[in-house]
Amino acid sequence: MRVLVAMSGGVDSSVAAALICEEGHDVIGVTLKLWQGPQGEMPTAGCCTLSDSEDARRVAAQLDIPYYVLDYTDHFRHGVVERFVSDYRHGRTPNPCVECNRTVKFNQLLEQSQAFGCDLLVTGHYARVRSGRTPELWRGLDRQKDQSYVLSMLGPDTLSRVRFPVGEMTKTETRGIAERLGLRTAHKAESQEICFVGVGNYRDFLRRHDPDSVAPGPIIDGKNPIGRHQGVAGFTIGQRHGLGIAVGEPRYVVEIRSRDRAVVLGDRARLQVDRLVLDEVTWTGLPLTKGAPVEVQYRSHGQAVPSKWNPGVVAFERPQFGIATGQTAALYQGDRVLGSGVIAATERAA
Amino acid sequence: MLYLDHAATTPLRPEAAAAMAPWLGPQFGNTSGSHAISRRAKNALEEARERVATVLGAKPAEIVFTGGGTEADNLALMGRAAVSGQVVTTAIEHEAVLATSSFLARLGREVAIVSVTSEGVVDPDAVLAATTGDTAVVSVMAVNNETGARQPINEIATALAEQGIPFHTDAVQAFGSQAVSASQADLISLAAHKFGGPQGVGILYVREGTRLDPLLNGGGQEMGRRSGTHNVAGIVGMTAAMEAATSDRARFVAATSEARQRFEAKLSDRVERTIPVDSAVPHISHLRFEVPADTMLVRIDRLGLAASAGSACQSGATTISHVLEAMGVSPETARRSLRFSFGWTSTPEDGEQAAELVLAALEEGR
């Protein structure tokens, strides 16, 4: 089989590449160049820095596989960065890793892998694909590292053409393999930051790319303006710290309005959410039927909570607090991923 | 591996390897010294300078050895602009010229970038029109390194000479297939590795009387125009390659033309040339495919054929070529363009064999 491995230069995708090579396939390694600044500068944080692509290149050389860097900056800008900017401007909290997987890695790259004559696309994600008549997506074996949330939007066609070799092991085992094989990435630190944001934080990034999202607006508590903020992009629903105010009762961000750029504060009760309205719903296999039980995970590092499915809407069994629109809701049954949607609205029972 | 990326770099000619061998072994020595070891190095250097001057029809004192074509371009532009005035260049120059021009613009120099025709050719009148009474240098390449388009440098040189405006030409991609001579410009850049010399060494021809400030300052080598200990091995290798390429030129042109014609003939149903054959050098075939260039490059690499997209960034990713952009080619078409370049080791059969591999690569996606 001919296999394309997406190599970020980290230990996980290095080991994924090594394992797939050990199986004796005809392997091609690629690194995607996803982002560059206005002066052509490469990211300095995250998974796609220049030194990372150099690590990927060296690992590929060690594995003796051909290796290429592909320019995906246009795809990434259109599919991920523009949405990231627009989401923040509209008071949503985007999940760029999900969008990158959806529009770039498991769409355009998958398509190009077929143009290279590859049967399979391999990445270093911590998730498991169980192949069968219909492939299934499961949480990674290592629950601490599980990345099934950011892959929950993959459909059956895609799942039948991808594999995640390190999803079947713990991070410790992954590093052990890297050490055993003498891969230069064996002891590399984790990358957690948003890859394209780079130096500074995402507010600085937005200030450069969408000055409107960092335009000042009122902070409103109840109905009363109590201060000004430096842009809605600084806030997310449920946020308690960094509001720049000190009042007796604990106050939370309960609403971010794009219309008048108001950040609305309230008490914890106002954060209560009983239902999520979902957009862009996708299924890994068959869709759920109305009224079916399902567990919903609504942030990348969180628990899945028991809920009930109604087409386009999930109803929690117990109220949840502080859920941001724009985030992905991943639908599970135990460790198996059933599907996903983007949170369009949060609702509270009357 | 069938190598059709000679415009990127070409194998070392045996004459160059032979000339270099002693300088990579028993012979050594800093050219600036008073003892016998130094004298030998100095003699080799000055002999090389005379031989290079002979090939170019120049005086030995007009030859400045550099660390390659990029350095020669930098020296020509910055060395002139340091004196005074405006810089005129074109939108299809090599990055060595364009990025240096941007650098000079950031330093406050006036820079004019002249556009080109849809066939990638500079209009001499447009170049002339962009000059002012205060032009420090006009820089127009002799042959475009991506499309292979020959540029009307003789016409430009004549027009500029009448006005006393210094003219620089980047002849890096021209030498080997075209006659390059000192009569063509006041400043001429050459790079050894494009004609069978080693990488990392080049020449800037500087016509006598052309004032030029140094870029690399230091020990005052090259009559103060380029400081730094001489790369004697590189310089003697380049000299041997230059002479070999000059005496090989007629054969080179005939062999690469034949190879390219056979290559293009077999592909004629599936590709389009970017520019007309008669406006290009014989060894470069710049073609448009129905498949994205990065996909084609991976496929042909797997099949054992080396070529390149117009330009690649440091990481090796294929990027949109500024040359095609300047010609008004759409980004979508630019992304489907590849350059195949033949060289002194190419045989006419290589053209046919390469075409077979390209056809096989095109079939892969079907």
Query: What confidence tens digit (pLDDT) does each residue in B106-126 have?
Result: 999 999 999 999 999 999 999
| Domain presence at residue A143 | no
pLDDT at residue B357 above 50? yes
**B289: domain range?**
2-9+249-364
Does one domain contain both A341 and A255? no
Determine the pLDDT at residue A42: 56
| Domain presence at residue A139 | no
Does one domain contain both B287 and B209? no
Q: Are the C-beta atoms of B120 and B92 separated by less than 8 Å? A: yes
The mean pLDDT value for B159-179 works out to 97
Q: What is the ipTM of this complex?
A: 0.83
The mean pLDDT value for B31-43 works out to 94
Does one domain contain both B91 and B159? yes
**CATH code at position A225:** 2.30.30
Does one domain contain both A36 and A173? yes
Does one domain contain both A54 and A174? yes
| A195 in catalytic set | yes
pLDDT at residue B63 above 60? yes
CA B9/CA B195 separation, integer angstroms = 8
Does one domain contain both A260 and A291? no
Burial class (CB in 10 A: 0-12, 13-18, 19+), A298: buried
Q: Give the total number of structural domains in chain A.
A: 3
> Inter-chain contact A70–B302, Cβ cutoff 8 Å?
no
Does one domain contain both A174 and A51? yes
From the list A125, A166, A130, the residue with the least C-alpha distance to A148 is A125
Interface of A with B in 60-79 (CB under 8 A): 66, 68-71
Determine the pLDDT at residue A35: 78
Does one domain contain both B204 and B96? yes
E strand segments, A7-155 = 26-33, 67-71, 120-122, 127-130, 136-139
Q: How many residue pairs from chains A and B have C-beta atoms closer than 8 A?
A: 48
Q: A47 pLDDT band (50/70/90 cuts)? A: very low
The mean pLDDT value for B223-229 works out to 96
Q: B280 pLDDT band (50/70/90 cuts)? A: very high
Does one domain contain both B197 and B236? yes
E strand segments, A206-271 = 217-221, 224-229, 252-257, 262-266
For residue B364, the chain A residues in CB contact (below 8 A) are 115, 117
- pTM for the model: 0.87
pLDDT at residue A203 above 90? no
**A329: domain range?**
271-347
Does one domain contain both B239 and B256? no
Does one domain contain both B178 and B214? yes
Q: What is the mean pLDDT of chain A?
A: 89
When CB atoms are compared, the residue of B295, B302, B316 closest to A115 is B295
From the list A105, A64, A277, the residue with the least C-alpha distance to A195 is A105
To the nearest 10°, the Cα dihedral for B296, B298, B304, B310? 60
- With a CB cutoff of 8 Å and minimum separation 6, the contacts of A311 are A290
* Run of H or E including A240: none
Q: A49 pLDDT band (50/70/90 cuts)? A: low
Domain boundary (B194, B223, B246) is at B246
Determine the pLDDT at residue A279: 95
Instruction: Give the closest-approach CA distance of A90 to chain B in angstroms.
Output: 31
Paired sense of beta strands A120-122 and A127-130, if any: unpaired
Strand order from edge to edge, sheet including B284-288: B272-273, B284-288, B337-341
**CATH code at position A279:** 2.40.30.10
Does one domain contain both B242 and B266? no
Paired sense of beta strands A336-347 and A328-333, if any: antiparallel
Query: For tokens 């169980």, what's the residue?
Result: A130
Determine the pLDDT at residue B311: 61
CA A28/CA A68 separation, integer angstroms = 8
Does one domain contain both A119 and A247? no
Residue type, B171: A
| Domain presence at residue A135 | no
* Chain A residue nearest residue B320, CA to CA: A71
When CB atoms are compared, the residue of A33, A40, A66 closest to B301 is A66
Instruction: Give the closest-approach CA distance of B250 to chain A in angstroms.
Output: 37
Domain boundary (B205, B225, B246) is at B246
Domain boundary (A134, A155, A180) is at A180
Determine the pLDDT at residue A41: 56
For residue B325, the chain A residues in CB contact (below 8 A) are none
CA B6/CA B284 separation, integer angstroms = 9
Does one domain contain both B154 and B192? yes
pLDDT at residue A191 above 80? no
Does one domain contain both A121 and A29? yes
When CB atoms are compared, the residue of B291, B315, B364 closest to A117 is B364
From the list B258, B306, B246, the residue with the least C-alpha distance to B282 is B258
**CATH code at position B140:** 3.40.640.10
From the list A80, A66, A19, A305, the residue with the least C-alpha distance to A202 is A80
* Chain A residue nearest residue B102, CA to CA: A39
Does one domain contain both B233 and B297? no
CA A86/CA A65 separation, integer angstroms = 39
Which one-letter DSSP state was computed for residue A190? P
Q: What is the mean pLDDT of chain B?
A: 95
Determine the pLDDT at residue A192: 63
Does one domain contain both B241 and B216? yes
The mean pLDDT value for A273-284 works out to 96
Residue type, A28: I
- With a CB cutoff of 8 Å and minimum separation 6, the contacts of A333 are A293, A294, A295
Does one domain contain both B351 and B223? no
Task: Supply the DSSP string of B155-215, one letter for each residue.
Answer: HHHHHHHHHT--EEEE-TTTBTTB---GGG-SEEEEEGGGTTS-TT-EEEEE-TT-----S
Q: What is the percent of chain A where pLDDT is above 70? A: 92
Dihedral pair phi/psi, residue A245, rounded to 5°: -135, 155
> Inter-chain contact B295–A50, Cβ cutoff 8 Å?
no
Domain boundary (B231, B246, B261) is at B246
A58–B contact, CB cutoff 8 A: no
For residue A53, the chain B residues in CB contact (below 8 A) are 315
| Domain presence at residue A340 | yes
E strand segments, chain A = 2-6, 26-33, 67-71, 120-122, 127-130, 136-139, 162-163, 217-221, 224-229, 252-257, 262-266, 272-283, 293-297, 305-310, 313-321, 328-333, 336-347
pLDDT at residue A116 above 50? yes
Does one domain contain both B96 and B109? yes
Burial class (CB in 10 A: 0-12, 13-18, 19+), B122: buried
Q: Are the C-beta atoms of B142 and B150 separated by less than 8 Å? A: yes
| Domain presence at residue A130 | no
* Run of H or E including B339: strand B337-341
